[in-house]
Structure 1
Amino acid sequence: MTSDKHVAETADATDASAVTALRSGAVAVVTMRTPALTAAAKQQLLTALDELSADGSIRAVVLTGAGRVFCAGQDLGEHAAALERDPEHAFDTVERDYNPIVTSLVTAPKPVIAAINGTCAGAGLSLALACDLRVCADSAKFTTAFTGIGLSCDSGLSATLAQAVGLARASELVLRAEPFTAERALSWGLVGEVVAADELADAARALAERLAAGPTLAHATAKAALRRAWGLPLPEVLAAEGRDQHRLGLTVDHRNATAAFLAKQRPQFHGR
């Protein structure tokens, strides 16, 4: 998910890695380079996301895949071997790997954009929905996949899919487990933008750079508030929003943006 004009990027991982993280200014692009998630890929993905989450110089992250696949979910070859070896513990990976990866995406104190370049299935769809925004190639294909192999949802999909498209649509998608197109995903609100496949990298980067130039603390607070408020009683939502606004009201970004508005100038945000 890079292009030749972005020569300033430096790799944080070798070409042989299952996951790479490329930094360019305040934006980082994390690429899953295996079609499905192997044990190594899951470990490397969690490490990359946690490191970028903690890096204050990175103010927006793009998560994408390589080639024609965003992420096809669990590597079923490894899973079959785990079932054969020790079926009682074959699903330990959910708590050990998938749950921390999803938590890292959701709690990152900066916007995370899923750039869905191709097949997005099973836990891959869960990862995309754990991101804050989704930009999609017009050639991408989606499926929930889980019930197709006799399983239910994991990696947060039972909540995030219903939040994205509504319970009725989510039930159709999970129980039928039929593939659907990028256009359908857009019409249902599952993704926010569909672009030509060869424009995806630039579109995702442009969005990430715009967000990275914005009020990072406000972005972090807003994404946490949106997740937190789902299903809470209104009085609790109002109280939490009040606390957030009071804290953000003391930031340099807010004071500068208020002054810029009154002066009819474009605000400059510094993430503090």
Structure 2
Amino acid sequence: MIAGLAHNGLIEEAIVVFSQMLQQNVMPNAVTLASILPACSLMGNIDLALVDMYSKSGAHRLAENMFSSIPKKNSATYTTIIWGYGQHGMGEKALSLFHSMQASNIKPDAITYVAVLSACGYAGLVDEGLHIFNSMEIEFNIRPSVEHYCCVADMLGKDGRVEEAYEFVEQLGEKGNSLEIWGSLLATCRLHQKSDLGEVVAKRLLQMDTGNNTTGYHVLLSNIYAEVGNWENVDRVRKAMNGMRKDFGCRWIEVAGCVNYFTSKDQEHPQSDKLYELLGGQRKERKRY
């Protein structure tokens, strides 16, 4: 896909696909790099692509060296390496670079704020993250979006401040009417076994989702009750799910250049009989020990 886009002159689209590839932790091979690097050079973005690749794959020293070698840095180059630090739990480094960016008179944009807030959430730097969030509109006139609100709710929730996260989302009013925000809050309720608050959040989600995508919320709420031993409510939620359909989970793996796709109870794979036979043998071996 990358080679095709680049060949047809769709350079920006090729770079977007390449970035998505890295975000999914799919490492590029020689063919991919041979396609993307010439495309980047046409836009003057070859350095940015390498910083992105190194930082997201955890090669931070290489990313830092490449970043340092860029003569004219901008918000995109800073944001790229801040994302990399954040995804690997290096919140302090992400914060340091964010402040360094401002000291260099480079204005952060909305995506930069998503990156640094996410980094604070991963690293548990909640107070620092809240301060940065509150400075967005005041210092740079950047109006928060759903992504920023979701980062704050997630940051508070991960730190165990679940009620505070709920109050934050509640006071957003219409601005907080997002499945992503409330869904993140419900997951936080499960993480910290807040069953009562989880039910309140789940009801809000069910009111917001007028389509047929409520199954996941019911399952999550059922799991919240099960983990605190509230079997009466588990039974009530599961009865409410009668007639609903939950999509099967899926996995895929590449072997010798061929992508093999699997779902739960899969019978479609051409070698499914051999796969189940192999799994059965592994179960017997485990029982022996």
TM over 0.5: no
TM bucket, shorter chain: 0.3 to 0.5
TM-score for the superposition, normalised by structure 1: 0.34
Structure with bigger gyration radius: 2
* Structure in which a larger fraction of residues adopt helix: 2
TM-score for the superposition, normalised by structure 2: 0.32
* Structure in which a larger fraction of residues adopt strand: 1
